[in-house]
Amino acid sequence: MKQKYWSNHKWVTCRSKLPTFIKWSFSEIHKVLPANKKLSILDLGVGDGKLILSLPRTHQFIGLDSCKEQLDLADLQAKKQGTKIKLILSDFTSIPLADNTIDVVVSNASLHHGKHKAIIFSEVYRVLKTPGIFIFADFYNEFGRKYSTLINNNIKKNKLFAKAFTKSLCDTYNDIPMEVRKNHPEEYHVDPYKLLTLLSSAGFKNKILPGYDPAYSIICARKLEAQ
Ligand SMILES: C[S@@+](CC[C@H](N)C(=O)[O-])C[C@H]1O[C@@H](n2cnc3c(N)ncnc32)[C@H](O)[C@@H]1O
């Protein structure tokens, strides 16, 4: 299956540097990984591989994306840094991997493109080993549309964290050329609390990590032995 992502522009190449909120999500994802273990890690919506290729090279990497051009970028990036990565062209709703084979599934800024969250979550649950970890960061509002409300609300609450995030989100958005924004694929935003319910239905035990922001949050869910 082929899908163009932001046509002539690439999500990654249109950003001059990693914004604060992405750096934050990467560092939270790094923290959750069990230390001193060689893990099989799958990245859903791998893009150019920025997240997965930032993890220690001792792990075994798999990147899935529905866009061939993005996978080519990830391949190039992996070769540049001498890291092995298996790349899969597929949709989130159909992960062509065997049951119980993956230790950790990660994802950054991608799952809002998936319309059928319940199917995605059950696919992730299926491929994860027990115990297994699913950790993902994502936007929970339509990118760009609700910023004025967010800024006002966050500033009213006067939370330094929220202010920094909102600024970083706005800077990123302003960084992306109009032509790119127009060609952005469909987004299917779901409230994080609704996502927690869907994750529970798929079998996960879950929680939101500290640092919840109405615009961008991280959710960590675990596949555990039945009790
Ligand atoms: C905003 S980019 C994020 C890329 C990367 N995770 C990062 O943090 O830079 C979203 C990615 O999700 C991919 N994507 C969108 N819809 C998808 C789907 N239904 N199945 C698989 N990948 C998808 C896009 O091709 C794109 O590479």
Q: CB under 8 Å, gap of 24 or more: what pairs does 49-55 form?
A: 49/73, 49/74, 49/77, 49/78, 49/85, 50/12, 50/18, 50/26, 50/77, 50/108, 51/26, 51/106, 51/107, 51/108, 52/85, 52/106, 53/77, 53/78, 53/81, 53/83, 53/85, 54/26, 54/30, 55/30
Whole-angstrom Cα distance, residue 21 to residue 214?
A: 12
pLDDT at 206: 77
Dist. CA 93–CA 71, nearest whole Å: 17
Asked whether 95 and 120 are in contact (CB, 8 A), the reply is no
d(CA 16, ligand 1 centre) in Å: 18
Give the phi and the psi of residue 66 in degrees, each rounded to 5: -90, 0
Q: In the structure encoding, which two tokens stand for residue 58, read together? A: 């001792």
110, 112, 142, 175: residue to mutate for ligand 1 pocket, most atoms within 8 A of CB: 110
pLDDT in tens, 51-109: 999 999 999 999 999 988 889 999 999 999 999 999 999 999 999 999 999 999 999 98
Residue where the block lists tokens 């109405």: 214
- pLDDT (0 to 100) of residue 15: 42
Among 14-28, 65-79, 132-146, the range with the most confident prediction by mean pLDDT is: 65-79
Contacts for 150 with CB less than 8 Å, ≥ 6 apart: 141, 166, 169, 214, 215
Phi then psi for residue 51, to 5 deg, are -70, -60
Predicted local distance difference test score (pLDDT) of residue 149: 55
Report the separation in Å between the CA atom of 46 and the middle of ligand 1, taken as the mean of its atom positions: 6
Please report which confidence band the pLDDT of residue 162 belongs to, taking 50, 70 and 90 as the band edges: low
pLDDT of 27 higher than 60? yes
pTM here is: 0.84
Q: How far is CA 190 from CA 98, 125, 178, in A?
A: 28, 19, 25
What is the per-residue pLDDT for 182? Answer: 58
Distances (CA, A) of 156 to 28, 147, 150, 151: 26, 14, 10, 8
Q: 125 alpha carbon to ligand 1 midpoint, in Å? A: 19
Q: Residue whose CA is closest, atom 8 of ligand 1?
A: 108
Residue 96, amino acid: P
Residue 134 beta carbon below 6 angstroms from any ligand 1 atom? no
Give me the half-sphere count of Cα atoms (radius 13 Å) on the Cβ side of residue 42: 27
For the domain bounded by 20-223, which CATH number is listed? 3.40.50.150
Gap between the Cα atoms of 71 and 156, Å rounded:
41
The region of weakest confidence among 57-71, 109-123, 198-212 is 198-212
Q: Please state the φ and ψ torsions of residue 202, each to the nearest 5 degrees.
A: -75, -10
Q: How far is the CA of 66 from the centre of ligand 1 (A)?
A: 7
